[in-house]
């Protein structure tokens, strides 16, 4: 099995708080893996650790074949797309400048940047003319799609998504799922997504990792875990 990431006795401590404890798991390449669990279970910390924004203090972490910390963090992060809750668009930048920000920082030529922008906007179901609008002029669903497009901009090998669909209503969320799946069909990637929504995990993910108090309590295919939860905590997540 080709791996997108591997953790061996991984631990993370922030200040005096132990956030992640002795994590041992493998995340398959080319699949969508959902991190689920109650608030405070360590899901987002694990995601930020995989992106190099949080340093582990114990164990070993390998992402995209590179041990942490990578020798060149900036080059490494260009191989990873990142999207977070509430879109996190920069209010002073247009939708075009937000979506293409990484291309500009990477030094892409304008014609290549524009071509990529138009392609992503088309797959996202957005008119390219919206690129002239600022975030406050866009609906919540449009903002989330722009944020998703920004994560895809450099066509990275991996996506790390921290509850990227949670800030919109259920109907809009379903539409964004459709667009995300369309992007994934065109440009398959390894994806790790944090979600509180088990229905979302069941729709999008191939595998889930269930966290509780910084520890992995179960990992496997969503349908298998639904049928055979390891304990009451896991079973309650599916209620």
CB neighbourhood size of 31 (10 A): 17
214-224 pLDDT per residue, tens: 999 999 998 99
118-137 pLDDT per residue, tens: 999 999 999 999 999 999 99
| Amino acid 77: pLDDT | 85
CA distance 179 to 177: 5
Burial (CB count within 10 angstroms: exposed 0-12, middle 13-18, buried 19+), residue 111 = exposed
pLDDT at 86 over 80: no
Residue environment code for 42-57, b if the CB has 16+ CB neighbours within 10 A, otherwise e:
bbbbbbbbbbbebebe
| Amino acid 97: pLDDT | 97
pLDDT at 96 over 80: yes
CB neighbourhood size of 40 (10 A): 13
Quick one: tokens of 96? Answer: 């075009």
| Amino acid 238: pLDDT | 84
pTM as predicted: 0.94
Mean pLDDT of 15-19: 93
Using 50, 70 and 90 to split pLDDT, how confident is the model at 87? confident
| Amino acid 105: pLDDT | 92
135-180 pLDDT per residue, tens: 999 999 999 999 999 999 999 999 999 998 887 888 888 999 999 9
Mean pLDDT (the chain, rounded): 93
| Amino acid 84: pLDDT | 84
pLDDT at 196 over 90: no
pLDDT at 228 over 90: yes
- 5: which DSSP letter? E
29-71 pLDDT per residue, tens: 999 999 999 999 999 999 999 998 899 999 999 999 999 878 8
CA distance 142 to 172: 9
| Amino acid 167: pLDDT | 72
Using 50, 70 and 90 to split pLDDT, how confident is the model at 22? very high
């Amino acid at each position: 099995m080709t791996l997108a990431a591997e953790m061996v006795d991984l631990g993370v401590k922030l200040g005096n708080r132990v956030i992640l404890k002795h994590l041992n798991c493998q995340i398959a390449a080319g699949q969508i893996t959902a991190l689920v669990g109650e608030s405070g279970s360590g899901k987002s910390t694990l995601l930020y650790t995989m992106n190099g924004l949080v340093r582990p203090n114990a164990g070993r972490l390998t992402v995209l074949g590179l041990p942490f910390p990578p020798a060149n963090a900036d080059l490494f992060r260009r191989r990873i797309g990142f999207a977070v809750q509430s879109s996190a668009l920069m209010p002073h930048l247009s939708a075009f400048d937000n979506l293409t920000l990484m291309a500009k920082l990477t030094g892409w030529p304008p014609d290549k940047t524009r071509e990529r922008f138009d392609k992503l906007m088309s797959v996202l179901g957005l008119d390219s003319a919206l690129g002239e609008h600022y975030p406050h002029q866009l609906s919540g669903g449009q903002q989330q799609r722009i944020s998703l497009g920004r994560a895809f901009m450099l066509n990275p090998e991996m996506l790390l998504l921290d509850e990227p669909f949670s800030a919109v209503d259920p109907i809009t969320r379903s539409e964004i799922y459709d667009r995300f799946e369309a992007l994934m069909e065109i440009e398959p990637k390894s994806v790790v997504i944090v979600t509180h929504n088990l229905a979302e995990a069941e729709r999008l993910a191939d595998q889930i990792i269930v966290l509780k108090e910084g520890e992995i309590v179960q990992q496997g295919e969503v349908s298998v875990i639904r049928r055979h939860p390891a304990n009451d905590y896991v079973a309650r997540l599916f209620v």
